[in-house]
Amino acid sequence: MKTLVIDAPAKINLCLHVLGRRSDGYHELAMAMQRIDLADRVEISLGCGKGVEVWCEGLDLDGGENIASRAARKFLREVQLSRRVSIRIDKQIPVAAGLGGGSSDAASVLTGLNRLCGQPVSLARLRELAADLGADVPFFLFERPAWATGTGTDLQPLPPLPDVCYLLLNPGIAVSTAWVYQSLQLTKGGELANLPRFSVSSVPELLASLHNDLESVTAGRYPEISEMKDFLRQQGALGTLMSGSGASVFGVFTDPAAAEKALAALPRECSWKAFVVRPLD
């Protein structure tokens, strides 16, 4: 049996524009995405036998069927290989939190199995397999900040972003991405051609670009979103934003010590999860 351990990082959305609903039912998006150093740890083992098993302490994976197991089965079909795959996930990224944890785990499974098998699948083909699993999965194979369009799978590299850190807060609420998009009221269709490309080289430009069309939907149902943003601003965050469909919120700091001080200001009785994180890129 061969085993590989991979860190599967979370992501945040520095901006998220919903341009309209497509004829296939999905939404046309334009997003700036960045990986951060909060990560799950994914252990992948390839051995004799058949079948795919996934374990993750503290989570009910519906008999082991989740996006990580689907990624493993898709890879095995692609290379026409009959082997046993065992996956153990040490979950550090909050679940259903707008941080892409499940998508990152799936990308790590594709990457890990490809390495264990001697890399028979090209990166371009891995990205195609990833897109079939979920809109965010190809981003985690891209491994750099990206401008994502279409359903989120069309990726272009972003120029170097300002050196900042983030205080990330999560209230422990699992938000349904499907519900958020279904609840979004699109008043007018947007056009990608008329949307300024996310290109920032300074902290003020970054702060001015922070935007999320989904935030009003999630915040309208969960007041914790506004409460977390208020806390971050009170503690000196230069800007705040909800990531993805929520319910995680981040505050922007230029000084890691200031972010740590804000983290220490959380009341002991507060149930929010909190992480000081840095960009990976």
Annotation marks residue 136 as catalytic? yes
Annotation marks residue 261 as catalytic? no
Exactly one of 40, 136, 213, 229 is catalytic; which is it?
Answer: 136
Q: At what angle do helices 101-116 and 123-133 cross, to 10 degrees?
A: 140
Exactly one of 11, 40, 105, 213 is catalytic; which is it?
Answer: 11
**Which residues are catalytically annotated?**
11, 136
